[in-house]
Amino acid sequence: MSWPSLIAGRAPCGAELGLRTTTQEIVHFHGEHEADVHLTRAMIARLRPALLGSSAVRLRPGSGWVTVRLDAGSDIDLLATLVSAALQATGAPYPGDDRRPDHCTRTGHPWVYAVT
């Protein structure tokens, strides 16, 4: 909440707490132990090896969102890092990011679980 570029409010998926820029949703929370971060598809492609190596991260094929389980202090640090990456990703599109509509992870699509 200390980033001046983020605005707090209800997320379009119904999550009570979401953070967004003036143009893009960045993160929202599903309860106390789970956050969805909108990294964009291109940023996920760049970070994919690191994301797959984290047991706290879940990916969904074709989505620009990742879900972070918040079970330990290190997960909070990871979330902060991913929010920072999301802010970078939404500030200037990366090549290959076609900006197709990208909905919250709670839409019922299958998950790709990271390898522990």
Predicted pLDDT of residue 24: 85
pLDDT of res. 38:
93
User: pTM of the predicted model, to two decimals?
Assistant: 0.78
- Beta-carbon contacts of residue 5 (< 8 Å; ≥ 6 apart): 21, 87
Decide if 16 contacts 10 (C-beta within 8 A). yes
Q: Which two tokens stand for residue 104?
A: 């919250």
Across the range 93-112, mean pLDDT stands at: 47
Q: Are 13 and 103 in contact (CB under 8 A)?
A: yes
106, 34 contact by CB (below 8 A): no
Taking the C-alpha atoms of residue 42 and residue 115, their distance in angstroms, rounded to an integer, is 21
Over 90: is that where the pLDDT of 90 sits?
no
Segment among 1-15, 23-37, 56-70, 77-91 with least mean pLDDT = 1-15
Structure tokens at 79: 């979330």
- The whole-number average pLDDT for the span 24-36 is 91
Looking at residue 102, its pLDDT comes to 59
Which of left, alpha, beta for 110 (phi over 0: left; psi -120 to 50: alpha)? beta
Average pLDDT over residues 54-64: 92
What mean pLDDT is predicted for residues 108-115?
A: 38
CA distances from 32 to 17, 71, 91 (A): 10, 9, 27
Highest average pLDDT, of 77-81, 87-91, 102-106, comes from: 77-81
Please name the residue ranges forming H helices in the chain.
41-52, 73-91
Does the pLDDT of residue 108 top 80, yes or no? Answer: no
